[in-house]
Amino acid sequence: MEKFETDGVVLKTGVTGEADLIVYVLTRQRGIIRAFAKGARSTKSRLHAGAAAFVYGAFSFTEKNGVFHVNDIVPQEVFFALRLDLQKLSLAQYFCEILLRTVSDTESDPMLLRLFLNSLHLLCGDKKPALMLKAVFELRIAVLSGYAPALVACGQCGEYETPLMFFDVSEGALYCENCAQAPRSELIPVAVISAMRHIVFSEFSDLFRFQLEDALLPVLNRMTERYLMQCFQHRFRLLEFFYQSL
Ligand SMILES: [Zn+2]
């Protein structure tokens, strides 16, 4: 039997037994832990407040034969604003769906937790447009999962930039106007290419610091969304709810 503590955030909960919950916790370095929270549905339980989606805090677990139990949760941030706004909630739930699909259950890059928490903070504080947060999350999580698109220069001739630039979603590659092959490559405004380069290559502390005119945000989103789906060969179900909330 192993006891350990880690910080993490609850991605989802499921009902089990008479008063118990199963919680899925994205931890800093141990991936997503699926654990039983005994009695957590009872309002008298000390786990009750913490065993809920989007609660970030300090978790204490016990593991025996591959089965995890939560012993204690000390909530530090509950992202309450998500519960008051359908658009924010549906985007946050979409992020959770991506994490549940892409993060392993044994280990994780600490940057994943940081990316998720930062995205939730900015979303709750109305600091950035939802579409910008969505695009950053989609593309950066692809990078963190080992699927960085090749955006340095044209994949054929090495040209950094030509007046017209093209992106091939299936290859994750960029092409200049001389090398692009229709219809596989799609013409993308250079400002969107610059935004994608920023999301892929910037230091984490600068990740959300870029400008893109509002009219181009949907183009950026279409690219990051299709690229993420292509990387994981998966259609994320909750994306529909987000679009319905716009
Ligand atoms: Zn080229």
Interior/surface letters 21-55, b for 16+ CB within 10 angstroms, e for the rest: bbbbbbbbebbbbbbbbbbbbeeebebbebbbbbb
CA of 194 to the centre of ligand 1 (A): 17
Is the domain of 122 the same as that of 232? Answer: yes
Strand partners, 29: none
Domain membership flag for residue 125: yes
Task: Give me the pLDDT at residue 197, please.
Answer: 98
Tokens of 181: 């092959």
- Concatenating the DSSP letter of every residue in 109-157 gives -HHHHHHHHHHHHHHHTT-S-HHHHHHHHHHHHHHHTT---B-SS-TTT
- Do 69 and 129 sit in the same domain of this protein? no
In a domain, 197, yes or no: yes
Domain assignment of residue 58, given as a range? 2-77
Q: How far is the CA of 174 from the centre of ligand 1 (A)?
A: 8
Does residue 134 form part of some domain? Answer: yes
Q: How far is the CA of 173 from the centre of ligand 1 (A)?
A: 11
- Residue 187 CA to ligand 1 center (angstroms) comes to 13
What pLDDT does 94 receive?
98
Torsion angle, alpha carbons of 226, 123, 82, 5, to 10:
90
Angle at 46 between CA 42 and CA 51, to 5 degrees: 75
Q: How far apart are CA 211 and CA 213, in angstroms?
A: 7
CA–centroid distance, 102 to ligand 1, in Å, is 32
- 83 lies in some domain: no
Residues 73, 117, single domain; the answer is: no
Same domain, 177 and 234: yes
| CA 189 to ligand 1 centroid distance, Å | 16
Residue 167 CA, ligand 1 centroid: distance in Å = 12
Residue 213 within any structural domain of the chain: yes
Ligand 1: centre distance to CA 162 (Å):
8
Look at residue 228 and tell me if it is in a domain: yes
Q: What is the pLDDT of residue 184?
A: 86
**The domain that contains 32 carries what CATH number?**
2.40.50.140
Say whether both 49 and 135 belong to one domain: no
Domain count, the chain: 2
Q: pLDDT of the chain along its 246 residues, tens only?
A: 899 999 999 999 999 999 999 999 999 999 999 999 999 999 999 999 999 999 999 999 999 999 999 999 999 999 999 999 999 999 999 999 999 999 988 888 999 999 999 999 999 999 899 999 999 999 999 999 999 999 999 999 999 999 999 999 999 999 999 999 878 899 999 999 999 999 999 999 999 999 999 999 999 999 999 999 999 999 999 999 999 998
CA dihedral 223, 133, 240, 141 (to 10 degrees): 60
CA of 215 to the centre of ligand 1 (A): 27
